[in-house]
Structure 1
C-alpha cells in the first residue's frame, strides 16, 4: 500500500511525539484514522526525505480541453494572437461546445508558443504584435480626440481639445479645435470633416467614447450605441465601427495623426483664439499632403485624390444633433432644463405633463410625447439660454391664465359703495398702497353686546362674565 502524500505529511508530524514517548501507537492511530500496521510501518522505519510517489499510470490522463484542441489550434493558426475569450465564445456559438473558460486559458499558455513556432514567430516576438490591415479608397476613416491643455489659458479659455479624422487609405488628415467634448460639438466636427474631404467614408472607427457608446458591456456582448450617433450615421450613410476595449492599435492611423498635428502645427507657437488654431492647421494641410508617407510610399495628396473620389456624396440637408431629455411641466407653464426655465403654451399642456426637450448649441425646442390632433408634437421654440438661472418666456404662452388685474381694494374714505369702486390699478405705487392700508386701519368699529346676536338668532341668552364685549 502506497500512502497518500497528504496522509504521509500528516503522519510525519507524530514521529517526534512517538519517539519521545509523548504519544503511543494507539493514540496516533486514533488521531490519524489510519490502520495500526500502516502507522507502525512508517513510524518504525527510517524517516523518508520525500513523500512516497504513486506509480505512473500507463494510460495518460485525458483532459476535457483535449477534445477541442484541434479546433483551438486551427483558430490560432489563422490568428496567433486571438484572445482566449474570443476562442471560448466561438466554441460555444459556432460549435455548441460548452467548456470551462479557465481550461481554454490554461491550454492557450502551451498552445500559443507552439503554434507561433510553427508559423516561424519566436515567442519573444508575440508581445506587442498586432495584425496590420489595409483598406480600399473611401472605405474607412478613423476618429479620435486630443487634449491640448491650456494653450489659450492666457485669453481665459481653460481647456482646448483637438478633433481628428483621418482617411485610412491615404492618411489624409482633418483637424479642428474646440473647447468642449459634448455631443453636439462632436458631430459638428464630423460635419466639418466631411465638408473638408468632400464626402463621407463607408465606415468610421471609434473607441468607446460616451458620445458613440451608450454604456460599456462585457467582452463578446453587443455594444449599445447612442441613439443620436445611430441617427447621424444613418443620415450620412456610414457604418459605425467600435473597437474592442484596450485595443488602440485598431485606430493607429489617427493616434499617430494626433501627435503629428501637435508637433507640426502647435509646437513653439502662440495663439489667441480657436480660429487662429484652425487657420494654422488649414495652412499646414498642403505641406502634409505633399509628403511621401512612410508606410504606403506614395505622396499623400496623390493618394488622397483616389480616396476623395470614392467617398459617398454629402446629403442635401445636414443633420443637427440634439440632446434629448424628458422633463415635467410646472404649474407656472415653465420647464426646467440645464438650470434655466423655458415656457410652454398653457392651452396645450397640463401640470406635471412629461415633455421632451431637444437642445442644440443655440436652440431649445419642447415637444409633446404624444402627437396632437394635427399630428404635430412641437410645443415651443426658444433660443438657448447662456449661463444659469435665466427664464426664457414667450408671453403668448400664458394667454387664458388669470392676470390679477380684476382685484379691487378700498381706502376707507367715503361711503362703502364709493370705496368699493376705487380699484388699485397698476398706476398706484407702493406708497399709495401703504396709505390705503393705514386708512383702512383707522376705520371706527361698532360695539354692541352679545345679547343682540342671541335675539337675532333666537338662541338661549348667553351671560358673559363681563357686562360688555367688544366685537369687531
Structure 2
C-alpha cells in the first residue's frame, strides 16, 4: 500500500517525464505491478480498505436495536438507561463492555436522525383534481355568541377539490343527522354533486378501520352516499395531507370569518351569515393555481357536477316508549306527545332541527286507507314495509303493512349490491309508458316469499337476471301497489331496447 505523496511522484515520473515503468520501479522501489495498477486506475488518492472485524456485540445487535427503538417511543421518565440495557445484555450472555453498548447506541441514534431528516420524511406529490371529481370534508370546533351566550359549536367544512369553493355550517354536535344536513346544504350551494368525497375515519362514517383502505362503512352513511350517488374515499389513519385542502380551510376560516364575527340570535342566522360570507370570499380570493378567482373556476366546474337530486331524508331513528304521563325523553330533555301514544312504543326520528314521533299503528292504518284510492310504490326498505312480514336478525317475525305478500328476512345477511336495468311488465307510478329504467340495488335482505305478480324483468350490470324483480298487486279500491329492491335513478338510454 502506498500513500498519496508517493502516488503523486509516480504519476509525475510517468506522465510528466515519460519514464518507463522499469525506471520508475528502480527509482521508487515500488513493484511494477503496483505501479501499473495505480496508473491504470487513474486515481490521485489511494483508498485503504477497512477489514471487517467481528464484535462481541454482533449476536446481540438486533436485540439492542429493538430495545432502543421501543425506548425512543416511551416518555422520558419511563425510558431505560444504557446501563440497564447493558446489564440486560449481560444476563443474556454478552461479555463485552458498557462502552461498546454506548458506542452502538450513539451510532443508532445518528442513523435514525439522518433517516428522519432525509428518506424518513417521505416524498410528497401535490394532488391535482379534474372538474367535478372530488370534494373534501372535515369538522372543527369553534365558538360563537348565540342568543347572548357564548356556545361551543361544531363547524362542518366542505370544499370542492378542483375549484376550491368552500362552505361552512355550524351545528351543536357531530352526529349523523348534522352530517347529512351539512352534505345537503353543500350540494345546494355548489349546484351539484361531485363523483367522490374524501373523509378522515370519523365515527359517523366508519364503523371499523381495517388494513390499508379496507373500511366497514356505517350503513346509514352509505345510504346517504348511495342517494347522492358519490363514492366515499377515506384517508389512511394519521394522514391528514390526503385531504390537505380542507385542513387548510379549517385554519384559514378562523381568521377570515370566525374571529371577530358578530353575535347572532339563533343558529339559523349564523348559518345564513356563514353561507353569504363564504360565497363573498369566493369572489375575493384568487384560485392560486388556475387563472381567476375561486368563483370563476367554480362557474366552470359547475357544469361537471351531477345535477342535484331531492334532499336525503337524513334522520336517525331511535325506539322509545312513551311514559304513562305522555312523555318521551331524548338527550336529557322530555317532550310531550299525544295521549293516544301513552305506554306505547314509538319511533323517534331525529333531524337537525326537529323531532318526529312515528307510531306504527297509525302509519299502517293510514297507508292502507291511502292505497285504496291512490297508487303506492316502495323502494328497498319501503318495499319490505309494504310486504306481509319481516324476520329480524334474531329470528323474530314482525308484521308489516300487508299491502303486498312479500316476506323478507335478515336472519342470514347477504349483500346485494350493483347497478340494475329494469324492463317493467306493469306500469310504475310516476313513469310514462313502459320505458326501460336504470337503478342501483344495495341491501342485506333475503326474499322468503314473493307471491304477487312480477313487476319487472331485472338484470345486473353483466346482463344476468336477478331474482329481486319487485312485485305488484291491485287493491280492492282499484289502485295499484308496487315495490322494488332497486332504487330508480333515471330512464335508460334510448339505445337500450325495451
TM, length-normalised to structure 2 = 0.44
More strand by share: 2
Structure showing greater radius of gyration is 1
TM, length-normalised to structure 1 = 0.47
